Amino acid sequence: MSLQPSEIDVEHFLAQKGYAICKHKVYVPGLSTGVLGKGSFGSVYKATKQGMPWAVKRMENASGLASAGLTQKEVETLRRLDGHPSIISLGEVFYEPSRDWVFIVMEFVDGGDLLLGLTKKPHLFDEALVRGMMFHISCGLAYAHEACVLHRDLKPENILLRGDMLPKIADFGLARIVGINYCQTAVGTPQYMAPEVPRADSHAPSGMYDFPADVFSLGLILRDMLSESTCMEWRLDIPVAAAERFQKWWPVGTSPGKQTETILALQREASGEVPGDRITAYQLCIELQELQKTNPMPCNLWSVQTKMPAGPPQRRMVSPEDAAEIAARNGFPKGSEVLIFVNDKWCEGIVEEISTSRCPGAAQVLYEDDDGEKVALVCPWQFAQFLRPSQWQEPGRSTNFRRSSSSKRSRSSRRTSALSTCKSAVSGAGRRLSALMRRDHLATM
d(Cα 126, Cα 124) in Å, to the nearest integer? Answer: 6
Crossing angle of helices 261-270 and 211-226, rounded to 10°: 150
Pairing of strands 387-389, 363-369: unpaired
Burial 50-64 (b: 16+ CB within 10 A, else e): eeeebbbbbbebbee
What are the residue boundaries of the structural domains of the chain, listed by start? 5-107, 114-303, 320-444
CA separation for the pair 39, 35 (Å, rounded): 11
Helix, strand, coil percentages for the chain (3-state, nearest 5): 35, 20, 45
**Looking at this protein, which amino acid is placed at residue 106?**
M
> In a structure prediction context, what are the per-residue pLDDT tens digits for the chain, which is 445 residues long?
555 557 789 999 999 999 999 998 888 888 889 999 887 778 999 999 999 999 999 988 888 766 556 677 888 899 999 999 999 999 999 999 898 899 999 999 999 999 999 999 999 999 999 999 999 999 999 999 999 999 999 999 999 999 999 999 999 989 998 887 888 888 899 999 999 998 766 555 667 899 999 999 999 999 999 999 999 999 888 888 788 899 999 999 999 999 999 999 999 999 999 999 999 999 999 999 999 999 999 999 999 999 999 999 988 888 999 999 999 999 999 999 999 999 899 999 999 999 999 999 999 999 988 888 999 999 999 999 999 999 887 765 544 444 443 444 444 444 444 433 333 333 333 333 333 333 345 776 6
| Euclidean distance between CA atoms 203 and 225, whole angstroms | 31
Out of 1.10.3720.10, 3.20.20.70, 1.10.510.10, 2.40.40.20, which CATH number does the structure's domain 114-303 have? 1.10.510.10
3-class state of residue 59 by DSSP: strand
CA dist 186 and 199 (Å) reads 5
- The DSSP output letter for 233 is T
- The reported pLDDT for the residue numbered 299 is 97
Cα 26 from Cα 203, distance rounded (Å): 42
Q: Are 156 and 118 in contact (CB under 8 A)?
A: yes
Q: Which of helix, strand or coil describes residue 380?
A: helix
**How far is residue 351's CA from residue 338's CA, in Å, rounded to a whole number?**
7
Q: What is the pLDDT of residue 414?
A: 47
Measured from the Cβ of residue 48, the count of other Cβ atoms closer than 10 Å reads 14
| Per-residue pLDDT at 63 | 81
Active site (catalytic) residues: 153
Residue 205 has a pLDDT of: 63
CA distance 76 to 87: 14
Whole-model pTM?
0.86
What is the predicted pLDDT for the residue at 201? 60
* 223: enclosing H helix or E strand: helix 211-226
pLDDT of residue 421: 39
Task: Report yes or no: 306 and 87 within 8 Å, Cβ to Cβ.
Answer: no
| CATH fold label, 5-107 | Phosphorylase Kinase; domain 1 (3.30.200)
For residues 9-19, one letter each, b for 16 or more C-beta atoms within 10 angstroms of the residue's C-beta and e for the rest, the string is: ebbebbeeeeb
Residue of 418, 422, 409 whose CA lies nearest to 366: 418
Query: What pLDDT is stored for residue 434 in this prediction?
Result: 34
Confidence (pLDDT) at 204:
54
Residue 331 zone, left/alpha/beta (φ > 0; ψ -120 to 50; rest): left
Distance of alpha carbon 333 from alpha carbon 319, whole angstroms: 15
